[in-house]
Structure 1
């Protein structure tokens, strides 16, 4: 198996590559379209601003390659947010893999923004959660969240909002939290992604 980790200068790639190495997986950090198309899995990590990230994807001509990918795909943090239709961060159109919107947490509620640290995630029955409990703790770092929708497969509660901690549409998975920074449970989830069949 070969996993393509998308390189679009959005950071957070080293921890993902290290996590895959611990699992004994061959992974390549790349923006080469041919390598991505031939990969068995795609991981789309990222930290940073949505508008800047979309510009980087356009420069590398990666938008259609991502949207047309037909094998298991995993967006992490910003990567998950970019899967959606629109972000309030810069008021930018995104990849539109799902029709969901990305919202800013309400700074007037009195909680800390960004949402940083460990929080409880509740799962649906999707096969990617095999051998995990219905609720587990994962590590988050974000100021924007994806609204709850029909694509939601995992939820988290913060800032008086139940938001999408996990999404799925067909072969496209996304997690707002960082499985690669979430210890043993995160490693189990990455392993499940590598083994999931569609």
Structure 2
């Protein structure tokens, strides 16, 4: 074997080592890139899980009970549980606010006399604005909602007794901000009443 042949074999051997080293370096680089990518993906996923999700606004629904003598209130969403409520009436009705605990409802007895006096002989189907302050839990978090709703109602005549409102349901009119106080709620409520009964 000549020196030239031996030198050629040596060059081929070193070339093979260089190629192997290059492949190994590429594999290590790819593994490092993949590991870094996975770590970034996990970090983004953790951040998404920890980011607080804004709570959807509370909307109350109502179903009539006892032929319209009352309304049973409920919160939309399976994860919401109403704890307490305060029902506030327009000043014109001269009816005190009513608190309920664990039994969300509205009864005509709370305001029927005041509504009769306020509307006088003008007893036609109408909408009565009420303020509702609701303390509730939403997926374990305590929250408060202050809003104005309107109760749809008609009148039921009774023999030898005064007419009484027949309640039909409620509709959301306005939601007040978190910092709204009782005075602000009453002012908005009275303005809504006056809009429906300008002469009252």
Report the TM-score range of the alignment, normalised by the length of the smaller protein.
under 0.3
TM-score, normalising length: structure 2: 0.22
More helix by percentage: 2
TM-score (structure 1 length as normaliser): 0.23
Which of the two has higher C-alpha Rg?
A: 2
